[in-house]
Chain A
Amino acid sequence: MRIVIADDAAILREGLAHLLTARGHEVVAAVGDPQALRAAVAEHRPDVAVVDIRMPPTHTDEGLRTAIELRRDHPDVGILLFSQYVETRYATDLLAGSPAGVGYLLKERVGDIDDFVDALHRVASGGTALDPEVVGHLLNAGRRGVSALTPRERDVLGLMAEGRTNAAIAKTLVVSDRAVEKHIANIFLKLDLPPSGDDHRRVLAVLRYLGT
C-alpha cells in the first residue's frame, strides 16, 4: 500500500510513517501542510492519503477542505481523515456525495495498529472506515427509522457504517455469518431499500441511517 501522510505535528507524522513502514507499507511522502499534500498526491498518486483535519495556516479545517478537493481531483486516491476530535460535521462533509474510499478516524486509534491498518486497506480499496465514535454520533444525528430497528440490527448497521464486511461484523458480534445476513436483510426491509442489482444497498442503508 502506497501512503501519503499529512500532519503538521512532525512527531506524529514521523511516528506514523515509521509504524506503517515497519508493517511493510510504503510511505511515499510525509508532509505538514495542505499545499505540500496536494503536490505529494499529484506526484505520487498514492493508494491512500492520511490527512489531519487541522492544518496550517488557521489550524481549523484546512485538512478537511483539502481532502474534499483531493476527492474531486483524484477520485482513485482513498482519503483517511485523522483527527483528535470527533465532529459529525466533518464526517458528513466528507461523506457528502459518495462515501466510497473515505474514512474518518480518531488519532488515538493508531494504538490498535491492526485495526488501523485494516481501516487504511478498506479506504484504499474504495471502502469506508468510520470511527466507532463518529458512527455513534452520526447515528444519534440521523435517527430516521431508528424506532423500527431492533438493538441488534442497530449494532449491525453501526458496524456496517464503520465499513466492516459481513464476516468482520459476525466476528465482532460473535454470531454466525448467516445471522448477520439475516439482520442486514431486515435492515434493508425496514429502511425500504428493495434489492436492485446494484449492490450499494449497504452504503444507501448507512447513508439513510446517518441522515446525510
Chain B
Amino acid sequence: MSLGVVLRAPVSRRVWTEILYLLVSAPLAAFGFAYTLATVVLGAGLAVTAAGIPLLAFGLYVAREIAGLHRGLAGRLLGEHIEPPAPVRTAPGLARVQIRLSDAAAWRAMAYFLVKLPITVIHLYILALTWAWSLVAITYPIQHAAGVNMDTVRDAHGAVRHGLVVGGVVFDTWPRQLAVCATGVLLLFVAPWATHVALMPDRMLMRWLLGRRGLAERVRDLEETRARAVDDAAATLRRIERDLHDGAQVRLIALTMQLTMVRDAVPDGAVRTLVDTAQATAREAIQELRELVRGIHPPALDHGLDTALTTLAARSGVPVEANVELGARPTAAIESIAYFCAAELLANVARHSGATRAWLSLTQAEGRLRLQVRDDGHGVAAPAGGSGLSGLLDRVRTVDGRLGIVSPPGGPTVVTVELPSHA
C-alpha cells in the first residue's frame, strides 16, 4: 500500500460511500429487525387461527423483498455484488403457502435482519469513535483558546490549569495541544480503515445469508428447474395431442364425411373414382396422424400408467404378461417416460430378441418406480447395439433414472428401468 493511498484515504470515494452505506442501512436495519420480530411473533401468536400461517408465509415473502433492498444497497454503495437466491416456485392456493414457509432464503433473510441491527449499532459506534474523536482532537487548539470542553484542575504546585486531562496529564501547553492535534490527524487516517474493517462482518453475513447458497442449494435449484422443464414438456405434448385431436383430426374426419356425401351425389364413373381416391388419402392421413399422436402422448395415459401399460402390452407383437402395481400416481412427465420406455423395450423384444414371450412389470417402492421387461429371447442386448436402448438411457437420465440391462448370450434379457415417482 503506497503512502499516497494512505494519505488519500480520508477523502477517497470508497470511504464516503461506506459511510453513506452505514447511514442509509441503519434505519433499514432497525426496520428489518422490528419487522422480523413482529412477523414471527404475530405469525406464531396467530398460528392457532387460520390467519397465522398465511400471515407468516406473506411475511417471509416480504422478507425476501427487504433482503433485495439490502443487496441493492450493498451492490451500489459497497460494490458488494451478491447473487440473489433462486426465485421461489409458484403454485396455486395452499401449495403457495407451503412453498413460502419452506423458503430457506427468506428465513435466512430474517436471520440477517436480526443480526444486522446489533452490528449496525457497533458500526455506528466505531464510526463515531474514530471520525468524531479525530475531529475533536484536531480542533483541540481552537477549543482550548475558546475555553470550551475544558477541565479545570489544580496541579501539585497549587496552580490552576485549564485543559483536557488524560491519565492525570493536562494538555494545556502549546506542544501538548499540538500533540493532541497530531493524534487527531493520526486518527483521521485510521478512521477510514476502521470503517472499512468494521464493515467486513456485514459483508460476510450478507454473502452468507442474503446470497445464493453453496453447491447443495445450487444442485437443488437445478433439480427443481429441470423438473419444471420436464413437466412443462409433458404438459406441452399433452396440449399438442389435444389440439390435434380436437383440430386436425376432427377436420379430416369431417372431410371423409363430406366426401361420402359427394360420393353419394355423383353417378358411377370417373368422378366417383376420384372421390374414392380422395377418401382413401384422407383416411391414410387420419391413420398417420393417429400414429403420430400415439408417439406424442398416448391417449391411454389419461387413465394412468396401469391402463396405458396394459394397453401397450395388449398391442405388442409378442405375447406379454403385464403386471402393474401402482400406488400413488406419478407425475405426468414420469408417467410419460415410463410409458415410452415400456413401448421401446417391448418393440425391441418384438424386433430383435427372437422371443416368444415377454413379461412386463411395474412396481413402486420408496418413491421410485421400477419397470422391468423380461423376455425369453436370445439375449445380447446392449445400449451400443443401436437397438434404441441408448436413446432410452438418455430419456431416463433426464430425471435421474437408472437403466439396468442383463442380457447374456442365449438370453434371457432383463431390462430394468428405475425412475423417481416425481420428476
CB within 8 Å of B: which residues of A? 9, 11-12, 15-16, 18-19, 22, 54, 59-61, 84-85, 87-89, 107-108, 110-111, 113, 137-138, 140-141, 143
Residue pair B253, A61 in contact (C-beta under 8 Å):
no
Residue pair A12, B250 in contact (C-beta under 8 Å):
yes
Interface bits B232-269 vs A (CB < 8 Å: 1, else 0): 00000000001001100111111011111100100000
29 CB contacts below 8 A, A to B, read A9-B250, A12-B250, A12-B257, A15-B254, A15-B257, A15-B258, A18-B257, A19-B260, A54-B299, A60-B303, A84-B245, A84-B253, A84-B290, A85-B293, A85-B294, A87-B299, A87-B300, A87-B307, A87-B311, A88-B310, A88-B314, A88-B315, A89-B307, A89-B310, A108-B256, A108-B283, A111-B256, A111-B257, A141-B314
Residue pair B302, A60 in contact (C-beta under 8 Å):
yes
State A137–B259 Cα separation when bound (angstroms): 29
Residue of B nearest to A116 (CB): B260
Residue of A nearest to B302 (CB): A60
Residue pair B290, A11 in contact (C-beta under 8 Å):
no
* Residues of the B chain whose Cβ atoms lie less than 8 Å from the Cβ of A143: 319
Q: Which of B261, B286, B314, B317 contacts A18 (CB 8 A)?
A: B261
Residue pair B260, A113 in contact (C-beta under 8 Å):
yes
* Residues of the B chain whose Cβ atoms lie less than 8 Å from the Cβ of A110: 253, 256-257, 260
Q: Which of B245, B259, B290 contacts A54 (CB 8 A)?
A: B245
Residue pair B314, A111 in contact (C-beta under 8 Å):
no
* Residues of the B chain whose Cβ atoms lie less than 8 Å from the Cβ of A60: 302-303
A141 to chain B, nearest CB (A): 3
Given contacts A89-B307, A108-B283, A108-B286, whether A12 and B242 have CB atoms under 8 Å apart is no
Asked if B139 is an interface residue, CB under 8 A from chain A, the answer is: no
B232 to chain A, nearest CB (A): 20
Interface bits B279-314 vs A (CB < 8 Å: 1, else 0): 100110011001001100001101100010011011
Asked if B316 is an interface residue, CB under 8 A from chain A, the answer is: yes
State A111–B287 Cα separation when bound (angstroms): 13
A61 to chain B, nearest CB (A): 7
Residue pair B290, A85 in contact (C-beta under 8 Å):
yes
Residue pair A22, B307 in contact (C-beta under 8 Å):
no
Given contacts A9-B246, A140-B315, whether A107 and B253 have CB atoms under 8 Å apart is yes
* Residues of the B chain whose Cβ atoms lie less than 8 Å from the Cβ of A15: 254, 257-258
* Residues of the A chain whose Cβ atoms lie less than 8 Å from the Cβ of B257: 12, 15-16, 18-19, 110-111
A-B contact sample (14 more), CB < 8 A, given A85-B290, A110-B253: A12-B254, A54-B299, A60-B302, A61-B302, A88-B310, A88-B311, A89-B307, A107-B253, A108-B256, A111-B257, A111-B259, A113-B260, A113-B264, A137-B311
* Residues of the A chain whose Cβ atoms lie less than 8 Å from the Cβ of B315: 88, 137, 140
* Residues of the A chain whose Cβ atoms lie less than 8 Å from the Cβ of B294: 85
Residue of B nearest to A82 (CB): B253
Secondary structure of the A side of the interface? helix
* Residues of the B chain whose Cβ atoms lie less than 8 Å from the Cβ of A84: 245, 249, 253, 286, 290
State A111–B307 Cα separation when bound (angstroms): 30
State A15–B250 Cα separation when bound (angstroms): 11
* Residues of the A chain whose Cβ atoms lie less than 8 Å from the Cβ of B299: 54, 85, 87
Residue of B nearest to A23 (CB): B264
Residue pair B261, A19 in contact (C-beta under 8 Å):
yes
* Residues of the A chain whose Cβ atoms lie less than 8 Å from the Cβ of B256: 108, 110-111
* Residues of the A chain whose Cβ atoms lie less than 8 Å from the Cβ of B287: 108
A133 to chain B, nearest CB (A): 9
Residue of B nearest to A110 (CB): B257
State A14–B254 Cα separation when bound (angstroms): 9
A192 to chain B, nearest CB (A): 20
* Residues of the A chain whose Cβ atoms lie less than 8 Å from the Cβ of B258: 15
A155 to chain B, nearest CB (A): 18
Residue of B nearest to A143 (CB): B319
Residue pair A61, B303 in contact (C-beta under 8 Å):
yes
Residue of B nearest to A139 (CB): B314
A101 to chain B, nearest CB (A): 24
B390 to chain A, nearest CB (A): 28
State A138–B311 Cα separation when bound (angstroms): 9
Q: Which of A59, A61, A137 contacts B242 (CB 8 A)?
A: A59
* Residues of the A chain whose Cβ atoms lie less than 8 Å from the Cβ of B259: 111
Residue of A nearest to B285 (CB): A108
* Residues of the B chain whose Cβ atoms lie less than 8 Å from the Cβ of A89: 300, 303, 307, 310-311
Interface bits B70-101 vs A (CB < 8 Å: 1, else 0): 00000000000000000000000000000000
A196 to chain B, nearest CB (A): 30
State A143–B253 Cα separation when bound (angstroms): 32
B266 to chain A, nearest CB (A): 14
Residue of A nearest to B316 (CB): A140
State A143–B311 Cα separation when bound (angstroms): 14
- The list of the 4 closest CB pairs from A to B, nearest first, reads A141-B314, A111-B256, A15-B257, A60-B302
A87 to chain B, nearest CB (A): 5
A5 to chain B, nearest CB (A): 12
* Residues of the B chain whose Cβ atoms lie less than 8 Å from the Cβ of A12: 250, 253-254, 257
State A170–B254 Cα separation when bound (angstroms): 32
State A9–B313 Cα separation when bound (angstroms): 31
* Residues of the B chain whose Cβ atoms lie less than 8 Å from the Cβ of A16: 257
* Residues of the A chain whose Cβ atoms lie less than 8 Å from the Cβ of B303: 60-61, 89
Residue of B nearest to A61 (CB): B303
Of listed B258, B307, B311, residue having the most chain A CB within 10 A: B311
* Residues of the A chain whose Cβ atoms lie less than 8 Å from the Cβ of B260: 19, 110-111, 113
B141 to chain A, nearest CB (A): 90
* Residues of the B chain whose Cβ atoms lie less than 8 Å from the Cβ of A22: 261, 264
Residue pair B314, A140 in contact (C-beta under 8 Å):
yes
Residue pair A11, B250 in contact (C-beta under 8 Å):
yes
State A88–B311 Cα separation when bound (angstroms): 6
* Residues of the A chain whose Cβ atoms lie less than 8 Å from the Cβ of B261: 18-19, 22
* Residues of the A chain whose Cβ atoms lie less than 8 Å from the Cβ of B279: 111
